[in-house]
Structure 1
Amino acid sequence: NQHRLYYNFLLTWLPSRRPVALLFAGASVWRLIWRSQSRAQGLQTSFSPPTYFAPLSPLSHSLPLCGLPYSLPYEGPDRLLSRGRRMEGYDAKFDPPLEKRLECPICLLAQREPMQTPCGHRFCSACILRALRETGPRCPVDNTTVCVHQLFKDNFAKREVLSLNVHCSADQCGCSWQGELRDLQVCTTYYMCMCQQ
């Protein structure tokens, strides 16, 4: 169901992950409505998938407070969903080897943008969102019921992963660089080493 796909997508990109309503006006223009905590008014945005979101505009009627003090990213759902499919974990040469607890149980790589389930399991954000979308609302590890709005970003785990020591993975360039994962950049288009040397 395409409506459900876009609805789940939008839930993941809203910081509160609790929109008030997602209205479908025909097949082309959709409207997302929520209440902003930082502004004393309702806000809305309309968009035509897969194009960009329209600017935010005030609503004329009040909505229940859902605690969203942020605006939406101005990228179309199709574009971001497509980008998300490529965002598996980090495939790097870790030294020392990657600990199991920092490995995504789905892609078996270091967790990228880790998200945690209510049952305590961590996954790459793209991996868990894809799993929930394709196999239903179940944790891939213990089969516990998990809904998208129950996931939360694990910033502590993210900082831990990005601070891990790695070697340059672009062997073709003969680079001997090593340092924190956050400083490693590999150009996947030309397979050239771009690791700040």
Structure 2
Amino acid sequence: PRGGGPAPSSGGRAQGLGAGRGRGRQFAPLGAGSAAGARRGLWGCRVPGPAGPCPPAMPGFDYKFLEKPKRRLLCPLCGKPMREPVQVSTCGHRFCDTCLQEFLSEGVFKCPEDQLPLDYAKIYPDPELEVQVLGLPIRCIHSEEGCRWSGPLRHLQGHLNTCSFNVVPCPNRCPTKLSRRDLPAHLQHDCPKRRLKCEFCGCDFSGEAFESHEGVCPQESVYCENKCGARMMRRLLAQHATSECPKRTQPCTYCTKEFVFDTIQVRPFLSGDHGAGSGESGY
């Protein structure tokens, strides 16, 4: 209803703000000046105060409008285009739902505009005004970052669901939040919870575990550390180094010195000079 239209009676309980939006919520009128009335908004939700916080109020829309909004669309309390506007039907003044809740939570039960006594039973949603506000053309909230989208306010959330500049959480549930356009690189290279498969053993790892696995995979093909030229899987390296590598060191049978294996074979019976100059590695 608008103007001084009749307000339906509900046996001491009036329809709450937003009932016209199908919420079906109700609230009991709070007595002016009562302690409960001073702490509660129109939904009966506790507003921030000594007794504890409730969900933060959301005043009017603060976006980059392509045209200056008309004055009748602005909330008298926050000065912005009204979010979920409600109307005081006794005087016709309109406010953001949450702005009026916050105003009344201070224990003042008068219309903020004309100071006339305010009757909870005569505060209703204004869907027609809401349609006009949601039709206002705006720029994307990321326009300064490069997004060129513009459109009706009501389409903003749909745009943000695909906007390349919108910040989103990592789908792998790592702590990182980043713009949607940077997400592919993050998932491929940086995310500690990304899934990676080792190309050598075929095992699947998280990003964190894969970093530890790299360089130690037993199936990876590596060269002998003695530089003999042989190449094999890492798991065979230890056996090769101790019993197969021609460049491995081996102690002399007759003394405590060690020699490179392929040089000690040249003159096996020269225990005196061990084939001097041919690969001695001992002392």
TM-score range, shorter chain: 0.5 to 0.7
Match of 2:62 in 1: 91
2:54 aligned counterpart, secondary structure: helix
Aligned length: 131
Normalising by structure 1, what TM-score? 0.55
Q: Given that residues 90 and 112 in structure 1 are in contact (C-alpha distance below 8 angstroms), is that contact kept between their aligned partners in structure 2?
A: yes
Match of 2:130 in 1: 158
Q: Shift of residue 11 of structure 1? A: 4.3
Q: Given that residues 116 and 154 in structure 1 are in contact (C-alpha distance below 8 angstroms), is that contact kept between their aligned partners in structure 2?
A: yes
Q: Deviations over 1:38-81 (max 9, x none)?
A: xxxxxxxxxxxxxxxxxxxxxxxxxxxxxxxxxxx9xx9459x8
Match of 1:112 in 2: 83
After TM superposition, the structure 1 = structure 2 runs for residues 6-155 of structure 1, keeping only pairs within 5 Å, are 11-12=16-17, 15=24, 17=26, 77-78=45-46, 82-83=54-55, 85-117=56-88, 118-155=90-127
Determine which structure has greater relative contact order: mean sequence separation of CA pairs < 8 Å that are 6+ residues apart, divided by chain length: 1
Q: Matched residues in 1 for 2:80 and 2:167: separation?
A: 17
Q: Matched residues in 2 for 1:170 and 1:104: separation?
A: 25
Q: Matched residues in 2 for 1:148 and 1:119: separation?
A: 13
Q: Deviations over 1:125-169 (max 9, x none)?
A: 000111112141111111111132221000000111001111112
Amino acid at match of 2:142: A
Judging changes above 3 Å, is the alpha-carbon distance between structure 1 residues 166 and 142 closer, same or farther for their aligned structure 2 residues? same
Judging changes above 3 Å, is the alpha-carbon distance between structure 1 residues 88 and 168 closer, same or farther for their aligned structure 2 residues? same
1:94 aligned counterpart, secondary structure: coil
Q: Matched residues in 2 for 1:100 and 1:191: separation?
A: 37
Q: Matched residues in 1 for 2:67 and 2:28: separation?
A: 42
1:184 aligned counterpart, secondary structure: helix
1:123 aligned counterpart, secondary structure: strand
Normalising by structure 2, what TM-score? 0.39
Q: Gaps spanning 5+ residues in structure 2: where? A: 1-12, 30-42, 48-52, 161-165, 169-176, 182-283
Judging changes above 3 Å, is the alpha-carbon distance between structure 1 residues 172 and 16 closer, same or farther for their aligned structure 2 residues? closer
Q: Shift of residue 16 of structure 1? A: 7.2
Match of 1:176 in 2: 148
Amino acid at match of 2:139: H
Q: Given that residues 116 and 123 in structure 1 are in contact (C-alpha distance below 8 angstroms), is that contact kept between their aligned partners in structure 2?
A: yes
Bigger radius of gyration among the two: 2
Q: Matched residues in 1 for 2:25 and 2:79: separation?
A: 28
Q: Matched residues in 2 for 1:188 and 1:101: separation?
A: 33
Q: Given that residues 18 and 124 in structure 2 are in contact (C-alpha distance below 8 angstroms), is that contact kept between their aligned partners in structure 1?
A: no
Judging changes above 3 Å, is the alpha-carbon distance between structure 1 residues 109 and 182 closer, same or farther for their aligned structure 2 residues? same
Q: Matched residues in 2 for 1:128 and 1:181: separation?
A: 22
Q: Matched residues in 2 for 1:106 and 1:152: separation?
A: 17
Q: Shift of residue 192 of structure 1? A: 5.6
Identity %: 31
